[in-house]
Structure 1
Amino acid sequence: MQEAVAILQKYWKHDKFRSLQKEIIDSVLSGHDTFALMPTGGGKSVCFQIPAMMNEGICLVISPLVALMKDQVSNLQKRNIKAIALTGGIRSEEMIDLLDNCQFGNYKFLYLSPERLQSDWILERIKNLPINIITIDEAHCVSQWGHDFRPAYLKISELKKHFPTVPFLALTATATPRVKEDIINELGLHEPQVFEKSFARENIAYMIFEVEDKLFRIEQILKKNPQPSIIYVRNRKSCLDISSQLNSLGFKATYYHGGLSPKEKDKNMQSWMNEEVQVIVATNAFGMGIDKANVKTVIHIQLPENMENYYQEAGRVGRNGERAFAVLLTSPSDIIQAQSQFINILPDKKFLNLMYVKLCNYFQIAYGEGINEQFNFNLHHFCLKYEFPTLKTYNAMQFLDRQGIISLSQEFSEKITLQFLISSKEVIRYMSLNPNDEEIILAILRTYPGIYEMQTAFNLQLIAKKSNHKETEIQTVLHKLKEKEIVEYHSKNNDATLIFNEVREDDRTINRVSKHLENQNQLKKEQLQSVVHYISEKKVCKNKLILHYFGEITTVDCGICSFCITKKIKKKDVSLLSTAIITLLQAEDLNSRDIQNKTKNSPDEVIGVLQDLLENNTILVKPNNKYTLRS
């Protein structure tokens, strides 16, 4: 182990290993298959990087995220360690050169996605490499009970046939007991050594606040904690809106989402990493592999889809060991919105059957035919033709892809991105001078209100339908606006390649897989219900709730979460504040911010007492979010 410590000191500048790192490294060096559950920030990458450096040969790292691979390869290269990632967009000739480098160039790490293993020629080349460890990062993706199932992960176990003596190391930050068992079985781990680090993060205060004005509460939190912060939102528009509002309030903020170009992503991320801005407002596209030690607050302003995602995103605070805050702001409508966002878009058996039949009809495939037929496919055109909801249809197609009934060659992307380069006043002037273009431009502006601020994904068929014009007419107007430098306009082919892997059998095809669809939908509902339970349970420590979800039992309250803080308020103080609030409400109806200002108490104290008064039916909340006494 002295050699391992020497490598840690030389390349990573640390003098000792963190909890469980040494034990996991010992297990791998001894040739054992190993399963390691290490929550976010636990230092998983060192567990395979150190033993790989100690052995002859190359470490194969299977990872689902391009950003994560690029980040780790970049960090290794900065330490003068030779590493390569086979990411998307690399031409076959270039990939052959990279694999030659792995074979003859003394490289230590080869990163690739599980989907790459489905290419026979890549697998053949890998079989000839001197592999010393096979690391499966984000291993929960192998489990159909996990929160991020990737069908390609199921193929990884086939590597066991080609590398029977090479140790497998499965790493994950989030796994319930059921998912852990699934990972071990699906990857074919042989008598694995199992290491599980506690999910407890003693320096993180998990805070749930019920608020009427989320922006006002964000402002208070950021003023109180001026250190680096992340605000997680559910969509791209919210990224832009919240960061813009924060900048107008005097905070320095930027944003990050999947629709930005790689250059914009890197620029915005670096401005936050270098602390040129305090806040980055992001969708869940941000964060994997980002290791910034001094993040003080992570704020969620909408409910996450499941506790696994929440724990991982919240866990990006306080990696320096100092007190940090994971805040979730809720309001009464959040549960309904989450239901609409995550559950209502799940396809049931009836919709799946209808969509499959229409898909076959769309390509004129007769009953009993269609196997191995390949087509270009445009999701938006298909959904418009049959008036299907896009997200539900996409989820249904993803399900059929996972079951092997069809194959989709790529993720769907919007065909056009568009941004107006001139002010709204100038656009109005242009429309007055070009009345023939007015209906199309107005349809665009009404559909995409953020199109002045950023490159916006654009649905040509939708605008054609809204403006009652042909698609060719829309394109003509867009080209004209581009020539006049009124818009920045990029067009690309977004047709996916769709392959039918089975003959068309309609009901028989869908009946065969419908039970799994029901199980998957039920899992999604249970996962969201766990989030609802987490925010709604007001009589249990928040840290206890999180640990219990991941199969850990503790009898000790954390002492720093929103529940524990509320519990610490003296009963006498609660009684006095309760009386003061009732007296105020006898004179007029007030919202929580008015009550806070008038009583000079903290938001947490006011909200805690208001909740008690609501539960005791002393007061009620009116539709305008003001509190009033019950008559």
Structure 2
Amino acid sequence: MAEALAILQKYWKHDQFRSPQEEIINSILEGKDTFGLMPTGGGKSICFQIPALMKDGICLVISPLVALMKDQVQRLQSMNIKAIALTGGIQSDEMITLLDNCEFGNYKFLYLSPERLQSDWILERIKNLPINLIAIDEAHCVSQWGHDFRPAYLKISKLKTHFPKVPFLALTASATQRVLEDVILQLGLENPVVFKKSFARKNIAYMVFEVEDKLYRMEQILKKNPQPSIIYVRNRKSCSDTASQLQALGFKATFYHGGLSVKEKEKNMSLWMNEEAQIMVSTNAFGMGIDKSNVKTVIHIHLPESLESYYQEAGRAGRNDEKAFAIILTSPSDKMQAQSQFIDVLPDKKILTQIYIKLCNYFRIAYGEGIDEQFSFNLNHFCQKYGFPTLKTYNAIQFLDRQGILTLSQEYSEKITMQFIIESKEVIRYMSLNPNEEPVILSLLRNYPGIYESQTAVNTSLIAKKSNCEEALVHSILDKLKERDLIDYHKKNNDASIIFNEVREDERTINRVSKYLENQNKQKVAHFESVVHYINEKKICKSKLILDYFGEKTETDCGICSYCISRKKKSDDELLVPKKIMQLLKIQELNSREIQKLTKNSEDDVIFALQTLLENNKIIIQANNKYTLKS
């Protein structure tokens, strides 16, 4: 392993591997199919990147996460390692060029989504590549029992027939034993060597606190722990609202969600990564591939939809092995809200069919047509037009995306269309007078031959790449050309785009995938119930609950979670708190903050005492969040 260690030191600046990275690399180098179950922060990418660098040829990496693919490609390129990602939005001609580069340009890594394998011509091109390893990231997506099943993953097993001697490496951070066995079966792995790292994160204190005022409790936590923090919320509005509330309290906070432009995402990410902002408030769009080791606190102020996703998000804390906190703040109404967010919005077969048909009508796609057509899409406008509920519609379209029927791109985009409104000889004359703008204009003319005849959609990032300049310069030149009445130029912001991957067949299309919908809905209910159990269970160590969910048994309590800490509270003074509270409630109804003020005990002691009294049916909490004696 001397060569592998030398590569680790050269490119990643680490002196030793984490367990079980070295064992996985050895297994791959021996040509064996391998399964790596490594919790978040375990360094999964190194497990395929190092053996790929040690072997001749190119490593094929299959991942469903566009942001993660882009991030890993950028990191590899920054280390002068040649890597390419075939992400959405790339035109066919550009994709052909990229695949040519893979075949003849000595590239080491090709990243693509599983949906790309559904294109026969792409599969044919991949067959001709000198593949040395096939790595399947987020491998739990191949199992219908997993929390993020994507049928396109089932196509990966076809690669076995084309590359029978190439080792497969399946990687995931969260899979139960049932999912693990199903992944091995569905991918066709041959006698795979399985490496399972413990799900225990001994430095993370898992906390669940029932609170009335979440903002007040966040303020206490973040003042006590001023290191980098992440606060996860359920929607975009909560992102900006929570960040604003924290800023008003004097915290340096920023936010991140899928509706931000690329520039805004990069700016806000930079503020947090460089610690100019302590707090990142985010939806679950943030986190994959983010390598920040000193995150001290991860707080969820809304219930997560599954323990798998919670474990991954919580696991972004404490990667430097120092003590860290994963906290869920919950209130009595949270379960009902989460039920309406996760369960009540699941589409059934009837509404899925209606939405699919209306979507085709919306874009004027005739029956038997529509394959490979792409459209700008505004979800709110679509829902208003047909009277569909927004969340249920979004879930239906996302389901169609995961079935490969269509592709929903949620990346904020700025669609640009333009047309030259002067004759070609005048354009040539303009270029001779403005030679600094000539590379951009020539790239426009070469890539869009119809740009004189009609409004033409223009990819400014492609033009910037072809003309070897910054994208901002392309925009600046287009603005200048418009000001001088040389072009007709329009910019339109879209919150999404949709590509239809199949011809329209209405009920026939939906009937083919309805069994997956029914199973998915059952799974989502089960996942939600596991979260509710985790929140409500007050007599078992929180770390134990998580380990048990993933099939890992332990007899030892962690000693640092909210349950374990509550067990330690045995001092005489703390035992008196329930009595003090009972005396106060004989006089009047009070909320927890009023009780804390009157008893002069710590908030933790008061909350613990209130929970004890509630469990023993001594008191009740009313709709106005005030406590009173049980009659």
* TM-score, normalised with respect to structure 2: 0.82
- Any idea what the Cα deviations from partners look like across 1:466-511, whole Å, max 9, x if unmatched? xxxxxxxxxxxxxxxxx9xxxx99445967454764755x5x8766
- Alignment-mate amino acid for residue 104 of structure 1: F
CA distance in 1, matches of 2:49, 2:623: 56
Give the alignment of 1:610-621 within 5 angstroms: 610-621=610-621
Equivalent position SS for 1:522: helix
1:94 CA drift (Å)? 3.1
In the alignment, does 2:599 pair up with 1:602?
no
What is the aligned partner in structure 1 of residue 517 from structure 2?
517
Equivalent position SS for 1:175: coil
What is the aligned partner in structure 2 of residue 546 from structure 1?
546
What is the aligned partner in structure 1 of residue 367 from structure 2?
370
- Any idea what the Cα deviations from partners look like across 1:363-413, whole Å, max 9, x if unmatched? 999xxx934466877665654454222332343345456567xx3244478
What is the aligned partner in structure 2 of residue 329 from structure 1?
329
* Alignment: residue pair count: 555
CA distance in 1, matches of 2:374, 2:78: 42
Give the alignment of 1:21-420 within 5 angstroms: 21-352=21-352, 355=355, 370-372=367-369, 383-399=383-399, 407-411=405-409
Measured on the aligned residues, the alpha-carbon RMSD in Å equals: 2.7
> 8 Å contact 2:88–2:409 — kept in the other structure?
no
Larger CA deviation: 565-574 vs 332-341: 565-574
Percent identity between matched residues is 71
> 8 Å contact 2:260–2:412 — kept in the other structure?
no
> 8 Å contact 1:307–1:527 — kept in the other structure?
yes
- Alignment-mate amino acid for residue 87 of structure 1: T
Unaligned runs of 5+ in 2: 416-482, 484-489
In the alignment, does 2:533 pair up with 1:536?
no
- Any idea what the Cα deviations from partners look like across 1:226-247, whole Å, max 9, x if unmatched? 0000000011111111111111
In the alignment, does 2:577 pair up with 1:583?
no
> 8 Å contact 1:229–1:295 — kept in the other structure?
yes
In the alignment, does 2:622 pair up with 1:622?
yes
1:582 CA drift (Å)? 1.7
> 8 Å contact 1:65–1:113 — kept in the other structure?
yes
CA distance in 2, matches of 1:538, 1:493: 42
Structure 1 338/106 Cα, relative in aligned 2: closer, same or farther at 3 Å? same
- Alignment-mate amino acid for residue 24 of structure 1: I
CA distance in 2, matches of 1:489, 1:376: 18
Unaligned runs of 5+ in 1: 418-482
CA distance in 2, matches of 1:552, 1:180: 13
What is the aligned partner in structure 2 of residue 469 from structure 1?
none
CA distance in 2, matches of 1:589, 1:90: 62
What is the aligned partner in structure 1 of residue 5 from structure 2?
5
What is the aligned partner in structure 2 of residue 478 from structure 1?
none
- Alignment-mate amino acid for residue 50 of structure 2: I
Equivalent position SS for 2:44: coil
What is the aligned partner in structure 2 of residue 437 from structure 1?
none
CA distance in 2, matches of 1:493, 1:303: 26
Larger CA deviation: 541-550 vs 55-64: 55-64
What is the aligned partner in structure 2 of residue 436 from structure 1?
none
1:5 CA drift (Å)? 1.4
1:595 CA drift (Å)? 2.0
- Any idea what the Cα deviations from partners look like across 1:391-437, whole Å, max 9, x if unmatched? 32343345456567xx32444789999xxxxxxxxxxxxxxxxxxxx
* TM-score, normalised with respect to structure 1: 0.82
1:627 CA drift (Å)? 1.4
CA distance in 2, matches of 1:629, 1:521: 41
Structure 1 90/376 Cα, relative in aligned 2: closer, same or farther at 3 Å? closer
What is the aligned partner in structure 1 of residue 559 from structure 2?
559
1:112 CA drift (Å)? 1.6
> 8 Å contact 1:372–1:499 — kept in the other structure?
no
Larger CA deviation: 90-99 vs 576-585: 90-99
1:551 CA drift (Å)? 0.8
> 8 Å contact 1:37–1:195 — kept in the other structure?
yes
1:100 CA drift (Å)? 2.6
1:573 CA drift (Å)? 3.6
